């Protein structure tokens, strides 16, 4: 006997919309021959330890004083500007892939953090943020004690 499946037109419309989005994203290709829609402006890694959330962000060509980092409502935002060293209007470029101008990347943090105690280190074009978790979300150790009662005894 064949299984009947209920038709849900909105599920199929979502699929159609996703297909249309992909079509438009793939159609607007940069001058270098690849779509820039899938490449984030600021590549990041994020992981957590027992006590901290750590974010590493690649910011090549940016000076530390040109970077603005903030945490609002558990969302980390990294903003700044890639400044072009000089503009040469007479050069006939074959390829120009380096990005210049403002950039911004916002990431929802996986847990509550204490942004007042954050540490930011910039080295070799990589920004490393270490943000401590709030006390209420840090794992608590509970010490297990051995009972001195012998089996069958009452207190």
| 3-state SS, residue 154 | coil
- Token pair 């750590």 is at which residue? 54
Portion of the chain with pLDDT greater than 90, in percent: 34
Task: Report which of 108, 46, 45 is spatially closest to residue 71, judged by C-alpha positions.
Answer: 108
With cut-offs at 50, 70 and 90, classify the pLDDT of residue 92: confident
Cα–Cα distance for residue pair 36/27, rounded to 1 Å? 11
Q: For residue 98, what are its two tokens? A: 């380096």
**pTM for the whole structure:** 0.61
Q: For residue 85, what are its two tokens? A: 């060293």
| Cβ proximity of 147 and 66 under 8 Å | no
Beta bridge mates, 48:
53
H helix or E strand, kind and range, residue 62: none
Q: Set out the domains of the chain in order of their start, with CATH numbers.
A: 39-84+98-137 (2.60.40.790)
pLDDT of 3 strictly over 80: no
What confidence tens digit (pLDDT) does each residue in 14-25 have? 566 677 776 766
């Amino acid at each position: 006997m064949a299984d009947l499946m209920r038709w849900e037109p909105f599920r199929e419309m979502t699929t159609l919309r996703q297909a249309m989005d992909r079509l438009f994203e793939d159609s607007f290709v940069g001058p270098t021959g690849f779509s820039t829609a899938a490449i984030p402006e600021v590549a990041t890694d994020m992981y957590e330890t027992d006590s901290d959330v750590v974010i590493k962000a690649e910011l090549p060509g940016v000076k530390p004083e040109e970077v603005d980092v903030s945490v609002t409502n558990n969302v980390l935002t990294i903003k700044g500007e890639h400044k072009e060293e000089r503009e040469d209007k007479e050069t006939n470029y074959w390829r120009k892939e380096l990005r210049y101008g403002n950039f911004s990347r916002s990431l929802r943090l996986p847990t509550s953090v204490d942004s007042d105690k954050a540490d930011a280190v910039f080295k070799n074009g990589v920004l490393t943020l270490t943000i401590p978790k709030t006390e209420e979300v840090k794992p608590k150790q509970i010490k297990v004690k051995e009972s001195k009662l012998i089996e069958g005894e009452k207190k």
